[in-house]
Each structure stands twice: as C-alpha cells, then as structure tokens.
Amino acid sequence: MNLALFFDPLPESLTAPSAAPTTLAAYASRFSDTFPDWRTADLALIGLDEWRGSAAGPPAVGPEIPTPLCGANRVRERFYQLQKGHGPVRLVDLGNLRPGLTLDDTYQRLREIVGALLEHNTLPILLGGSHDLDYGQFLAYETLERPISFAVVDARLDMAEPGGAHARNGIAAEDSHLRRLLVHEPNFIFSFAQLAHQQYLVPPEVLAALEKLHFETLRLGEIRQDLQQAEPLLRQADFLSFDVTALRWPDAPGYYPPNPFGLSNEDAAQLCWYAGHNAQLSSLGLYGYRPEHDPHGLAAAALATMLWYFLEGYYHRQPETDFASRRFVRYAVVLPGTPAELVFFKSKRSGKWWLEVESLADSRVRRVVPCTYQDYLHAAQGDLPNRWIRLQALLG
C-alpha cells in the first residue's frame, strides 16, 4: 500500500536538520522530499487537519492569522525540540493526512492507513482534528476479527443522537462519535472505559446506559483522588482516544469554550505514560486541539510533552502475559459464596495486579484482566470486586 498518496509533506521548518543531536528531531524520519519507511518503524506520527465533524468548523482566520493554523504542526514545533528519552526511538512522521472529498471518506482513509500500520506492527499516533476522527481509528480494528477493548479520555461523553453523515439538526459528528462506535455493526467491542469525564457535563441517562452495558467509567474526581485507578483501564485497552478538552483550560488553552476544571498537564502526561507502557495498546489518538485559542503555544507544549511520555512508556514496555511463570505470585482468595475462590496474579517485576475471571455460565471461558491491589483487598475481605462483576456480565 502506497501511503504517500494520502499525505502532504511537512513544511521545511519542521524537516530541517536538528542543531542539537540529542533532541527528538535528530531521531525522527520526517516526510519532506522522501516518504519515510514506515514498515520498519516502531511508531508513526500522522497529522490531522480535518474539522468537518466539528460544530465550530476549521480554525478561524483573521488579521493576525491570515491562513488557518495546522494544530499538528504547532505541536510538532514543540515536540521535536524535546530531548530524546529512553530507547532507540524509531519514529517516522508521515506528514499531514489529505482529507477525503467527504468526512466519511476521511474516516475510510484513516481506516486503511491505521490498518496498514497495525498489520506491520507500527503504532500510529493520530494528532489533531476533531474528536470524531477516532471513528476511522476504530474502524481499522474491525479487520482484526477479534473482540477489542478501548478507552476514551474526555470531559464529556459524546453520545448525542447522530444526525446523518456528519451534522444534521445542529448535532455535529464530534458530539455523537462515541455512540457511533458503541453501536457499530458488526459489534467487535469486548470492553470500553470512559475516563476523566465531569459528571455535571454528562446527562445521567448516558452514564446509566454505560452502566447497563457493563462498561467502566472513572470520573475526573476519582482520577484526581487516585490516578493509579486509571492504570488498569488503560492497560486493558487496544487503543486510546484522548480529547484535549479533558485538560483544564488554564493548563492547556487549546479549545473552546474554556473549562476551568479538568486534568492537569501532569495528570495527562501520566495517563499517556500508562498508555504507552501497555504492551497491548496499538494506536493513540490526540484530538481536538485548536491552535487559534493557543496564542502562546501552552497547549501545544502540553500535548508535545504528553507525546514524549507516551514514547517513554512505549520504550519501557515489558510484556507480562505468562502468568504460570515464576515472574508472578499467585494469590487464591477463598470466598463464602459463589464463586468459591478468586485468583489474583502479581508481577514481581512491575508490581502490577491481574484478576482471573471464570464464566459462571461456562467454566471453559475465562479471562485474565488488569486490576488493582484494592481489588485484591476487597476480595480478601469477602467482597466481590466490581471489576469481576462487570466482566462476568461480559463473558455471559
């Protein structure tokens, strides 16, 4: 597949040789005259400048901004100035995706491109554009022909009733994209986790619907109280979709209307590290950045740092799936009812915990899922962890 047909090269200012040999610019192969070899890369950065799914439309222009700003390029300016961290950093920058004739065409382009990268074990990082573009990211996983799990970080739950191809009756695609993912047919979703939503921005019936579907949610307040609660949810995800509106506006003024509440930049960077460290996660989308609201580049710097932490997590990956090996400690907790026993595993290397869930309907069906130490403590006190109850319902 000739991916070069779908991309515009980066401006010269973003492809010039790095003056500092220790920065990321010196290690990334960026699309200028020659399209980079994405098949041998670990990660591929893709810029998106598609806003037809947004009610606000494309970035505004005016006397001070004569041409629309490309948000992905603004983030790249900051990202490539950062120092290289751990690992070899085999990163390619494919440039900016050319939008399709229609918004649905753009979704299909993303589906093909992300699918091709996944096939060659190159992790795509989608940067910019409205949040509904994660539909194209999602569609790429349909070809895997297996159930997947994914996570969304967003201040709201974009579950409005869809209105046609991208907008109708005043409802934009970015306001309904999550519903579109969850009701997609054929349904290949095993689990879904919503993180960092603000309860006063979400209709109660939406949260009730997710609860009925046995999906997990983690409010902003719960994350701020204990950020580590988010780690098992991200550890289970095949892909992550992150909306910049989840960050509080004073930390990252790259969206509108502004919200004084949200994740701090430090919280967001930690979540990206968790995601990068997840050996199962195979794509990342950072959406919603509008550079016209970021005159000083503060949000661009925040997103660049989030990308840096994602790369750090990626190059610290340590796949942990052989639960029968000596690298794990097995804990069996006896319960008074059904089930009679719960089995937990703790990694000696990372200290992470997993829970084995056996279907009550069919003992041949079982799954080992990420959990927390608190889940183990609840079981030790005779209580079934909520994570076990939710998964039992999914296993049927």
DSSP structure string for 18-43:
PSSTTBGGGTEEE-SSS---GGG-SE
pLDDT in the model for residue 22: 92
Say what the pLDDT of residue 77 is: 95
**How far, in Å, CA of 323 to CA of 292, rounded?**
49
What is residue 169's predicted lDDT score, i.e. its pLDDT? 54
H helix or E strand, kind and range, residue 148: strand 148-153
Contacts (Cβ under 8 Å, ≥6 apart) of 123: 42, 43, 44, 117, 281, 282, 283, 284, 314
Strand-pair category, 167-168 with 148-153: unpaired
Residue type, 112: E
Domains along the chain? 3-314 (3.40.800.10), 328-395 (no CATH)
CA distance 69 to 290: 8
Residues with Cβ within 8 Å of 55's Cβ and at least 6 positions away in sequence, in order, are 167, 170, 172, 174, 175
CA angle 43, 44, 47 (to 5 degrees): 145
The mean pLDDT values, 10 residues at a time, for the chain of 396 residues are 93 86 94 94 97 85 56 96 90 97 97 97 97 98 92 96 54 94 94 97 95 94 96 97 97 95 98 97 98 94 98 92 91 88 93 91 84 93 89 81
User: CA-CA distance, 385 to 383, in Å (whole number)?
Assistant: 6
Give the number of other CB atoms < 10 A from CB of residue 213: 14
Query: Rounded to whole angstroms, how far apart are CA atoms 246 and 242?
Result: 8
